[in-house]
Amino acid sequence: MPDSPRQAYEELIRRVRETALLGSCAGVLHWDRETYMPRKGAEHRASQLALLAGMTHAQFTDPRIGELIAAAEGSDVVADPLSDAAVNVRELRRSYDRATRLPRDLVEELARVTSLAHGEWVEARKRSDFARFRPWLERVVALKVREADCYGHSGNRYDALLEDYEPGATTAWIAGVLGPLRDELVKLLDAIQGASRRPDAALLARSYPLPQQEMFGRVAAAAIGFDFEAGRLDTVAHPFCSGLGPGDTRLTTRYNEHDFGDAFFSILHEAGHGLYDQGLPAEHWGTPRGECVSLGIHESQSRMWENLVARSHAFWRHFFPIARQFFPAALGDVSLDAFHFAINAVRPSFIRVDADEVTYNLHIVLRFELEQALLGGDLPVADLPGAWNERFTRLLGLTPPDDAQGCLQDTHWSGGGIGYFPTYTLGNLAAAQLFAAASRAIPDLRDQFARGHFADLLGWLRTNIHQQGMRHRAPRLIEVVTGRPLSHEPLMAHLWGKFGALYGL
């Protein structure tokens, strides 16, 4: 007797949750690889991850999954298009159709090669030795070309890979977003560079002992709502957040005794990601209703807490006296206003994760251009350092002195994350637009920050973003929550308002 639509849907959810559990096991191994795994364990770890990737792929692409999706589609189970069941079936159809286009051997090879490439990237970056990483990047790019071609596209492989990170986005749409934003940012940067006011950024390079940095970062992350009983903080080469499942969200950072912001703002950034993961509806874990809508929306949460909250004057009216207690030698003679100006200093720099709010998105423009050229075969991997330096000089007026501060600085390409970078700019745009909407809904929001109260903002995000899961695709979610389509205008209004006041523009 054939399954009823309800029975089919229930079996579908049971199966995809089992697949999600298997995927979360791989997530733990990825996290361990970047935190505590001995370097000589790389080969074995690559084999483990390849096996799990192949098993997960086989489990999710089982023809039975397709049958169950088809049985639920068009039935009363999904009659309400915004119901939990309809959202799950819609998104599982999309994921299933994509996954079934990839052969298992490609999935396993991608997992194996990217795991090994990550270790080689770490060593190459330490030595600023692109030649060491080059053969691995060539293998990664070749595999991503094959993956894009398996997915299918209308002549632009980049479109096929964008879909993994930002469903529905196209290269043309991203270019249409980045172009006007780039032009506006260049105008603002020119105005700032011509201003007479200058912050004393050197005060952030004083001695900030690492144990105190970690403790202070934990205090701030906990204050904005990160639950350390359901998470932890560790040290890595390149900070990230791993949401492994309900009750287990891992933050990471890196420390520099003579750079206060390196660890502190990366902790607040990753805590923003962690708050999203901790806020997803646990009862829907393992299904689209319990997953983030896109990486751009995920990034909006981290950038909001890092920049619109933690770099605000109101935030430091509460936290600066506490920071002085942690770092009396470094901050004892520093005023709140001087500190606030210093942490918001605008100056072109080599490293993306250290970039200020004004220049950050220019780093994304660079990577967006290079990724398309790599995938399209217009840029051989061997020529990447030169192409990076030429474009970097054109965009930011600086020439990287070595590859560690140039094309080797990010981990994404070692992990196969081609198509990932544009989501950072989408996140910045969404963060500003969402924060403006939250400020309208909570008129005394900044006064709350000054009192060390962040629960109302977190509650607003929980209701409007986190608990929604994948109910809406990202563009629709922004429109539903803010009342207008995603635009660069809220971000530019924020930047001109903030930096205009700081630099006297």
Is residue 150 a contact partner of residue 142, using CB atoms and an 8 Å limit?
A: no
Please report how the helices 130-151 and 384-396 are oriented relative to each other, as an axis angle in degrees rounded to 10. Answer: 90
Torsion of CA 408, 411, 414, 415, to 10 degrees: -170
Strands 231-235 and 248-253: parallel
What is the CB-side half-sphere exposure of residue 87 using CA atoms within 13 A? Answer: 17
The partner residues of 49 in beta bridges, in order of sequence, read none
348 backbone φψ class: left, alpha, beta (φ>0; ψ -120 to 50): beta
| Helix or strand holding residue 501 (H, E) | helix 489-503
Give the Cα separation of 362 and 474 in Å (integer).
Answer: 23
**Residue 304 DSSP one-character state:** I
Is residue 188 a contact partner of residue 496, using CB atoms and an 8 Å limit?
A: yes
Structure tokens at 435: 């924060």
For residues 328-364, one letter each, b for 16 or more C-beta atoms within 10 angstroms of the residue's C-beta and e for the rest, the string is eebbeebebeebbbbbbbbbbbbebbbbbbbbbbbbb
**Residue 82 DSSP one-character state:** T
SS3 483: coil
Chain length of the chain: 505
Phi/psi for 334 (5° steps) reads -105, 135
The secondary structure of 346-360, three-state, reads: CCCCCCHHHCCCCCH
**Is there a catalytic annotation at residue 270?**
yes
Catalytic hit among 34, 109, 147, 270: 270
Give the Cα separation of 386 and 24 in Å (integer).
Answer: 39
Give the Cα separation of 204 and 260 in Å (integer).
Answer: 5
Please provide the DSSP assignment of 84-119 as one string.
HHHHHHHHHHHHHHHHTTS-HHHHHHHHHHHHHHHH
Q: Which residues are tagged catalytic?
A: 270
